[in-house]
Amino acid sequence: MQKPSPEAANYLPPVFLGSMAFVFINFGLPIRADELGIGAFGIGGMYAMFTGTLLLVRPLIGYGLDRFGRRGFFVSAFLFYGCAMGFMAISVDVVDFYLARFLQGIGAGLMWVSVRTLIADLNGPAHRGEAMGRLTVTSVRGSMFGAMYGFTLLGFLPLPLAWVWAFGGYALMALMGAAWAWATVVESRPKRAPESTLGSVSWNGRLVRLLVMVFLSAFASALIEPIYLLFLKHKFELPLYALALAFLPAGLVMAVVPRYAGEWSDQFGRGRLIALGVTCAGFVSIALPHWSNMLFVGLSYMLFAFGWAVASPAQEALVADLAPAGTVGRIMGVKEAAAGIGAALGPLVGGLIYDYWTPDAAFAINGVLLLLTAVGAWVWFARDVSR
């Protein structure tokens, strides 16, 4: 059996550096925008701008990866991240935020499609889940390290000033990631596939079913992404740093579990792990708005994070498993595009529900869609075990 390649370690430090802003953006962007007087629909548009950009660029990136190789795309991801963080630091209105999110979307598309394709190149099916888990763990640990930096600034400075210093630091880290990747990452090119291969793959029934699952889970997750912090802030009347502390245990789960969950998917099957993880996340989402104590919210979100920590590496490995030789980059791009469609629509729908209906409905819809995804994973892919 092919063991995990040591060359993969070259890609992990840049991912760590490039991921530092992720948690702080997720927590801080809705709160910062709310303080600037931007409504939930406008905030949802910021998320839609990010995911819509991903939707546009991911298929092109996948094609380019298979045609030109992986390294250049990977290095350029961190240059775009650096520019995005610089614009985020000075953003004061909707147009500024939308430009920053546009650049961030390009960077995210470049990084995730290229690094997942590299992992598929360098690791056989028997170890691919573990490698995808290591990638997730590296990104989460980078984002938690960055969050400590950002929230420490919030403890000493007012939000507008802390915002500038935090994203200035994230921009510097991303540029360091670009330099590191340029200096250490080696090229990886796919085996050449027949020109007719991609056409047949795009109509493969199992791949189409997987893309349906990807779309549903991405839409469901994005549905509550721009509103859950606003909901909790208004319900419990807590400052931003207190909300961040409540979700810290969930971050620790994501920083540890994916590494082992990827191994479990290699041993016990991709579909089973996806079904287990998404089921946990679905039930938590349905129950979350009904808790009256923030402690229960934090504990519930630990289970939610555990669910995604279990499901994500298995899903990424399954995409690579189903991709024929020579088309991994394109298939990864198509998969990311399916996720991007769901993630682009979700924030807009969630913002409308929050503004004009009730937040409880968004959490309920999220949970039901995740449970449907779990059923699909079990029925369609429960027997998929790496060989």
What is the three-class DSSP state of 338?
Answer: helix
pLDDT (tens digit, 9 = 90+) per residue, 144-201? 899 889 888 877 888 888 889 999 999 999 999 999 999 888 777 655 544 444 444 4
The DSSP element (H or E) to which 323 belongs, if any, is none
* Mean local confidence (pLDDT), 305-321: 81
With tokens 């994916």, the residue in question is 258
Between CA 366 and CA 357 the distance in angstroms is: 15
Per CATH, the homologous superfamily of domain 15-184+204-381 is MFS general substrate transporter like domains (1.20.1250.20)
> What's the pLDDT at 387?
43
Label residue 92 by pLDDT band (50, 70, 90). confident
- The domain spans of the chain are 15-184+204-381
With tokens 């291969």, the residue in question is 197
Q: For residue 101, which of 57, 147, 171, 52 has the smallest C-alpha distance?
A: 52
Question: Half-sphere exposure of residue 231, counting CA atoms within 13 Å on the CB side?
Answer: 25
Question: Is the pLDDT confidence value at 337 over 80?
Answer: no
pTM over 0.75: no
Q: Give the list of residues 6+ apart from residue 106 with CB closer than 8 angstroms, or none.
A: 53, 57, 80, 84
Question: Is the pLDDT confidence value at 265 over 60?
Answer: yes
With tokens 């935090």, the residue in question is 166
Query: Which DSSP string do the residues of 159-198 spell out, in sequence order?
Result: HHHHHHHHHHHHHHHHHHHHHHHHHHPPP--PPP--TTHH
241, 148 contact by CB (below 8 A): no
> What's the pLDDT at 255?
76
Q: What is the CA radius of gyration of the chain?
A: 20
Question: Is the pLDDT confidence value at 77 over 90?
Answer: yes
Between CA 252 and CA 137 the distance in angstroms is: 10
Between CA 65 and CA 96 the distance in angstroms is: 31
Question: Is the pLDDT confidence value at 2 over 80?
Answer: no
Label residue 120 by pLDDT band (50, 70, 90). confident
CB-based burial, 343-375: b 16+ in 10 Å, e otherwise? bbbbbbbbbebbeeeebeebbbbbbebbbbbbe
Alpha helices in 69-93 (DSSP H): 71-89
Between CA 40 and CA 175 the distance in angstroms is: 32
